[in-house]
Amino acid sequence: MTRRDDLRRLHFIDGLFAHVTGHDLYLAQQIKAAIACSLTELAAQMEEDPGLAATSDATFNAAAADLLSKLFTHLPRHGFYHWDASLTLASATPLFTRAEVMTGLKHLARYREATLLVTNLRPALIPPARRATARRKRDYEEALAFIHDLAAARTSRSAKLQLLFL
Protein backbone atom coordinates (compact mmCIF):
# COMPACT_ATOMS: atom_id res chain seq x y z
CA MET A 1 0.00 0.00 0.00
CA THR A 2 1.35 3.42 -0.93
CA ARG A 3 1.47 6.46 1.30
CA ARG A 4 -1.05 8.16 -1.00
CA ASP A 5 -3.56 5.32 -0.49
CA ASP A 6 -3.02 5.50 3.26
CA LEU A 7 -3.68 9.25 3.28
CA ARG A 8 -6.76 8.80 1.06
CA ARG A 9 -8.18 6.26 3.50
CA LEU A 10 -7.41 8.49 6.48
CA HIS A 11 -9.32 11.41 4.96
CA PHE A 12 -12.16 9.09 3.99
CA ILE A 13 -12.45 7.90 7.61
CA ASP A 14 -12.28 11.51 8.82
CA GLY A 15 -15.12 12.45 6.45
CA LEU A 16 -17.27 9.50 7.46
CA PHE A 17 -16.82 9.86 11.18
CA ALA A 18 -16.51 13.65 11.42
CA HIS A 19 -19.35 13.83 13.95
CA VAL A 20 -17.34 11.50 16.19
CA THR A 21 -13.81 12.76 15.51
CA GLY A 22 -14.56 16.46 15.15
CA HIS A 23 -12.20 16.39 12.13
CA ASP A 24 -9.34 15.36 14.41
CA LEU A 25 -7.04 13.30 12.17
CA TYR A 26 -5.52 11.58 15.20
CA LEU A 27 -8.91 10.12 16.13
CA ALA A 28 -9.57 9.29 12.49
CA GLN A 29 -6.24 7.43 12.49
CA GLN A 30 -7.41 5.43 15.51
CA ILE A 31 -10.62 4.41 13.71
CA LYS A 32 -8.63 3.52 10.60
CA ALA A 33 -6.28 1.43 12.73
CA ALA A 34 -9.25 -0.37 14.28
CA ILE A 35 -10.58 -1.24 10.83
CA ALA A 36 -7.12 -2.36 9.76
CA CYS A 37 -6.78 -4.56 12.86
CA SER A 38 -10.01 -6.31 11.95
CA LEU A 39 -8.37 -7.14 8.64
CA THR A 40 -5.17 -8.63 10.08
CA GLU A 41 -5.97 -12.05 8.71
CA LEU A 42 -6.21 -10.57 5.22
CA ALA A 43 -2.87 -8.82 5.73
CA ALA A 44 -1.24 -12.12 6.68
CA GLN A 45 -2.73 -13.76 3.61
CA MET A 46 -1.48 -10.91 1.43
CA GLU A 47 2.08 -11.53 2.62
CA GLU A 48 1.78 -15.13 1.53
CA ASP A 49 -0.03 -14.30 -1.72
CA PRO A 50 0.61 -10.77 -3.14
CA GLY A 51 -2.22 -11.31 -5.62
CA LEU A 52 -4.72 -10.66 -2.84
CA ALA A 53 -3.76 -6.98 -2.81
CA ALA A 54 -6.39 -6.34 -5.47
CA THR A 55 -9.13 -7.43 -3.06
CA SER A 56 -7.84 -5.44 -0.07
CA ASP A 57 -9.55 -2.22 -1.20
CA ALA A 58 -12.89 -4.00 -1.61
CA THR A 59 -12.51 -5.60 1.81
CA PHE A 60 -11.55 -2.28 3.39
CA ASN A 61 -14.55 -0.57 1.73
CA ALA A 62 -16.91 -3.28 2.99
CA ALA A 63 -15.53 -3.07 6.53
CA ALA A 64 -15.77 0.74 6.58
CA ALA A 65 -19.34 0.67 5.19
CA ASP A 66 -20.37 -1.94 7.75
CA LEU A 67 -18.86 0.08 10.60
CA LEU A 68 -20.54 3.24 9.34
CA SER A 69 -23.89 1.48 9.06
CA LYS A 70 -23.62 0.26 12.65
CA LEU A 71 -22.66 3.74 13.82
CA PHE A 72 -25.63 5.42 12.15
CA THR A 73 -28.10 2.94 13.62
CA HIS A 74 -27.27 4.53 16.97
CA LEU A 75 -28.01 8.02 15.60
CA PRO A 76 -31.75 7.93 14.91
CA ARG A 77 -31.86 11.48 13.53
CA HIS A 78 -29.20 10.86 10.90
CA GLY A 79 -30.21 8.84 7.86
CA PHE A 80 -27.86 6.42 6.14
CA TYR A 81 -28.09 4.54 2.85
CA HIS A 82 -25.38 2.42 1.25
CA TRP A 83 -25.34 1.41 -2.41
CA ASP A 84 -22.71 -1.01 -3.64
CA ALA A 85 -22.44 -0.43 -7.39
CA SER A 86 -20.69 -3.74 -8.00
CA LEU A 87 -23.52 -6.00 -6.81
CA THR A 88 -24.51 -6.96 -10.35
CA LEU A 89 -23.00 -6.46 -13.78
CA ALA A 90 -25.73 -3.99 -14.75
CA SER A 91 -25.99 -2.04 -11.48
CA ALA A 92 -23.60 0.70 -12.59
CA THR A 93 -25.45 1.39 -15.85
CA PRO A 94 -27.35 4.71 -15.95
CA LEU A 95 -30.80 3.14 -15.63
CA PHE A 96 -29.92 1.04 -12.58
CA THR A 97 -27.81 3.84 -11.10
CA ARG A 98 -30.83 6.14 -11.23
CA ALA A 99 -33.08 3.50 -9.66
CA GLU A 100 -30.64 2.75 -6.84
CA VAL A 101 -29.88 6.39 -6.06
CA MET A 102 -33.59 7.28 -6.13
CA THR A 103 -34.31 4.41 -3.72
CA GLY A 104 -31.63 5.78 -1.42
CA LEU A 105 -32.88 9.36 -1.67
CA LYS A 106 -36.45 8.27 -0.93
CA HIS A 107 -35.18 6.42 2.13
CA LEU A 108 -33.24 9.50 3.28
CA ALA A 109 -35.96 12.09 2.51
CA ARG A 110 -37.37 12.07 6.04
CA TYR A 111 -34.03 12.94 7.65
CA ARG A 112 -32.68 16.46 8.06
CA GLU A 113 -29.11 15.10 8.01
CA ALA A 114 -28.20 12.06 5.95
CA THR A 115 -25.34 10.19 4.35
CA LEU A 116 -25.52 8.43 0.99
CA LEU A 117 -22.55 6.10 0.59
CA VAL A 118 -21.75 4.81 -2.91
CA THR A 119 -19.09 2.11 -2.98
CA ASN A 120 -17.33 0.34 -5.83
CA LEU A 121 -18.60 2.61 -8.60
CA ARG A 122 -15.15 3.01 -10.12
CA PRO A 123 -14.34 -0.74 -10.14
CA ALA A 124 -17.78 -1.42 -11.61
CA LEU A 125 -17.18 0.95 -14.53
CA ILE A 126 -13.41 0.62 -14.82
CA PRO A 127 -12.63 -2.99 -13.84
CA PRO A 128 -9.12 -3.32 -12.36
CA ALA A 129 -8.37 -6.35 -14.53
CA ARG A 130 -9.11 -4.40 -17.71
CA ARG A 131 -7.60 -1.34 -19.33
CA ALA A 132 -8.82 2.08 -18.23
CA THR A 133 -9.83 3.32 -21.67
CA ALA A 134 -10.94 6.86 -22.39
CA ARG A 135 -14.52 5.65 -22.80
CA ARG A 136 -14.53 3.87 -19.42
CA LYS A 137 -13.08 6.94 -17.72
CA ARG A 138 -15.70 9.13 -19.39
CA ASP A 139 -18.48 6.76 -18.30
CA TYR A 140 -17.20 6.94 -14.73
CA GLU A 141 -17.03 10.76 -14.76
CA GLU A 142 -20.54 10.92 -16.23
CA ALA A 143 -21.85 8.56 -13.54
CA LEU A 144 -20.34 10.74 -10.81
CA ALA A 145 -21.86 13.88 -12.32
CA PHE A 146 -25.20 12.13 -12.78
CA ILE A 147 -25.34 11.03 -9.14
CA HIS A 148 -24.34 14.51 -7.94
CA ASP A 149 -26.98 16.18 -10.10
CA LEU A 150 -29.69 13.68 -9.15
CA ALA A 151 -28.95 14.07 -5.44
CA ALA A 152 -28.97 17.86 -5.73
CA ALA A 153 -32.26 17.86 -7.63
CA ARG A 154 -34.05 15.38 -5.37
CA THR A 155 -32.91 16.64 -1.95
CA SER A 156 -34.70 19.48 -0.21
CA ARG A 157 -32.74 22.67 0.38
CA SER A 158 -33.11 22.37 4.14
CA ALA A 159 -31.55 18.89 4.26
CA LYS A 160 -27.85 18.25 4.72
CA LEU A 161 -26.91 15.33 2.49
CA GLN A 162 -23.39 14.01 2.67
CA LEU A 163 -22.63 12.17 -0.57
CA LEU A 164 -19.62 9.87 -0.25
CA PHE A 165 -17.95 7.80 -2.97
CA LEU A 166 -15.62 5.00 -2.02
pLDDT given at position 53:
59
| Mean of pLDDT over the chain | 82
The stretch 1-28 carries a mean pLDDT of 79
Question: Which residues have CB under 8 Å from 25's CB, separation 6+?
Answer: 10, 14
pLDDT given at position 104:
93
pLDDT given at position 50:
64
Distance CA 122, CA 35 (A): 22
- Determine the longest span between alpha carbons in the chain, in angstroms: 51
Distance CA 23, CA 14 (A): 6
pLDDT tens-digit map of 75-122: 778 889 998 888 876 667 888 889 999 999 999 999 998 989 998 888
Q: pLDDT grade, residue 20 (50/70/90)? A: confident
Residue pair 147/118 in contact (Cβ under 8 Å)? The answer is yes
Q: How many residues does this entry show for the chain?
A: 166
pLDDT given at position 152:
93
Strand, coil or helix: 118: strand
**C-alpha closest to that of 104 among 85, 80, 124:** 80
pLDDT given at position 77:
84
pLDDT given at position 138:
92
Give the predicted TM-score (pTM) of the model. Answer: 0.68
Burial tier of 16 (Cβ tally within 10 Å: 0-12, 13-18, 19+): buried
Q: pLDDT grade, residue 34 (50/70/90)? A: confident
**C-alpha closest to that of 31 among 4, 54, 11:** 11
| Percent residues over pLDDT 90 in the chain | 21
Residue pair 125/143 in contact (Cβ under 8 Å)? The answer is yes
Distance CA 109, CA 45 (A): 42
Higher pLDDT, 158 or 56: 158
The stretch 113-137 carries a mean pLDDT of 87
